[in-house]
Every structure is written in C-alpha cells, then in structure tokens.
C-alpha cells in the first residue's frame, strides 16, 4: 500500500477531526477556482511538505496490540449495528492479529477509535496510530448516506464502501491510488470541479508518492478498498474504475502480512510467510 496525505475535517455535529485524517470520496468542500494541469497531470500549485506524509510503518499498531477498541460518540443504534456487522464480516474474519472490539456505552475500557456520524460531508479517519495523538477527539467520521438522492441499493453500497475504507485507514492502510506504480494521470480540473474541493485538498488526496518515499507496499491494486473510484473524465486516457465495496485479495494479504498472527515455533520471516485468507 502507498502513503497518504493529511486533511482536516470539521463535522457538522461539532466534532473536530484531527489534522492526521484521510478524506474519502463524498461531500463538498470549499472551491476556489479551477487550477491548470501540468503536462504530467499534476496541479500547477504548491504541494506542501510531502516528506512528512510518508512512512506507513510509523502508523502501524505495535506487535503487542491485539485489539482496537471502538466507541461511538453519537448516532442511531441502527447505524451502529450496520457498522459493527460490516466490520465483523470483512475485517474480524481475517487471519490477522488485530481485531476490532466495539465498546458499549458503560464499558470502562479506553477506546482507540472514536466514531462520530455525520449526515453531511465526507467520511474521514485518522491513519493507524495517529489516533493515539488525539485521545479525547473523534478519530473517524462516517456518513451513512441516508440523505443521498440514490436508490436504497446504491446508498447501501456507498455506506459499505465508506465504512470499510475508513476502518482500513484505522488499521494503517493508505490511499491505493497514491501508489508509486499507479498509472492513472488525473484530469485535476475535472476532479476538483466534481469534488468541490480546493486546490490543496485535491493535491493532498490525489498526488502520487515516489518509490523513495514509500516504506511498505504491495503491487498496485485497482480493486483495493483504499482506491478512490475513477469516474469517466477523471483521468486521461479514459480510465474508469468502479467504486470498490469489499476488501480485495491484495488488501487481505497486506493486512495479514503487516499484522501476522503469532507463530512462536516458526523461524520464517514475514517476507517468506505463506499467506492464508
């Protein structure tokens, strides 16, 4: 997996998302005009401190961490149950060391992940251990797409995609379309207009890292739950990638690789370890 760029998001309910948050696909932000694309498809604008955005392994949970405790800061019981069900089915069934554990309101244990629901805007999450820097704040915002002008099935798919994507970030996974080997050349003016984001946010969420900046990754995987959908016109050459709604085989292998189950009798390294899904 590749590395990610940082965003700040303020939910309509007043929960201030920390700076170390990744932004997902929906919603509208400020729009300050359409920038010009360079020949290589990148925005002709200042890009910020990209060196500080690299280093995926710095955001992975430590080897002695076996449970990530999740609490909800707001929301209806039905939404909480939907989130729990998706995580149990797609993440907690993997043969990896870490499990998500959802806390009840009266549970005295400290939470690692704090989820707030919003009816507007985008879903977002801190990346991995960045959540530890914000012990009293929301570390994840989820839009459950109740107000979307879509069919019930389309709302369900968008909800599932958002939830799995953001919990992937919570595990330390980062945007797949930022992979150094991603061949997509974005039409940034079209992307900016479609998203309604300002220049900085578009650059943060779409710019690709180089090989020297990436510390841990698999081969580029367009089916990854961490890949943004690519709509017609978003990319040069007509590339279209549908919204992914489940973890790909590559996602599963990556998670099992970075969070292997203890094997005290085995002397093999992670690199030579046989992956089981």
8-16 own/partner pairs: CB under 8 Å, 24+ apart: 9/121, 9/122, 9/124, 9/141, 11/116, 11/118, 11/121, 11/138, 11/141, 12/118, 12/119, 12/120, 12/121, 13/74, 13/116, 13/117, 13/118, 15/73, 15/116, 15/137, 15/138, 15/141, 16/137, 16/138
Beta carbons of 19 and 25 less than 8 angstroms apart: no
The pLDDT of residue 181 is above 60: yes
More confident residue, 14 or 246: 246
How much is the pLDDT for 227?
96
How much is the pLDDT for 71?
97
Q: What is the average pLDDT score of the chain?
A: 78
The pLDDT of residue 32 is above 90: no
- For 62, other C-beta atoms within 10 Å of its C-beta total 6
Kindly state the tokens that stand for 270.
Answer: 């992670």
Question: What are the C-alpha distances in Å from 63 to residues 13, 66, 229?
Answer: 35, 8, 33
The pLDDT of residue 104 is above 70: yes
- For 145, other C-beta atoms within 10 Å of its C-beta total 19
Domain 21-258 belongs in CATH node 3.40.630.10: no
- Helix, coil or strand: residue 56: helix
pTM confidence score: 0.78
Poorest-pLDDT segment among 53-57, 105-109, 119-123, 150-154: 53-57
Mean pLDDT of 206-216: 65
In sequence order, which residues have a C-beta less than 8 Å from that of residue 212 and are 6 or more positions away?
none
Distance CA 177, CA 183 (A): 9
How much is the pLDDT for 21?
55
Pairing type for strands 99-102 and 21-23 reads: unpaired
Q: Where are the domains of the chain?
A: 21-258
Q: How many alpha carbons fall within 13 Å on the CB side of residue 268?
A: 12
In sequence order, which residues have a C-beta less than 8 Å from that of residue 161 and are 6 or more positions away?
25, 225, 243, 244, 245
């Amino acid at each position: 997996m590749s590395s990610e760029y940082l965003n700040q998001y303020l939910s309509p309910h007043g929960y201030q998302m920390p700076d170390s948050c990744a932004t997902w696909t929906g919603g509208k932000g400020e729009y300050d005009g359409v920038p010009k694309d360079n020949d290589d498809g990148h925005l002709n604008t200042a890009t910020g401190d990209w060196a500080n955005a690299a280093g995926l392994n710095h955001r992975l949970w430590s080897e002695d961490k076996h449970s990530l405790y999740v609490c909800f800061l707001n929301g209806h019981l039905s939404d909480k149950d939907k989130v729990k069900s998706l995580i149990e089915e797609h993440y907690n069934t993997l043969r990896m060391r870490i499990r998500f554990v959802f806390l009840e309101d009266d549970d005295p244990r400290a939470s690692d992940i704090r989820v707030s629901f919003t009816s507007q805007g985008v879903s977002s999450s801190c990346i991995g251990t960045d959540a530890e820097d914000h012990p009293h704040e929301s570390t994840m915002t989820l839009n459950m797409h109740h107000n979307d002008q879509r069919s019930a099935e389309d709302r369900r798919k968008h909800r599932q995609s958002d939830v799995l994507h953001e919990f992937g970030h919570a595990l330390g996974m980062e945007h797949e379309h930022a992979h150094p080997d991603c061949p997509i050349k974005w039409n940034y003016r079209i992307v900016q207009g479609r998203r309604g984001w300002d220049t900085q946010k578009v650059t943060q969420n779409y710019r690709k890292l180089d090989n020297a900046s990436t510390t841990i990754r698999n081969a580029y995987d367009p089916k990854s739950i961490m890949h943004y959908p690519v709509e017609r016109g978003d990319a040069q050459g007509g590339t279209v990638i549908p919204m992914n709604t489940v973890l790909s085989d590559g996602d599963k292998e990556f998670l099992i690789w970075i969070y292997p189950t203890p094997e005290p009798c085995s002397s093999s390294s992670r690199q030579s370890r046989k992956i089981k899904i």
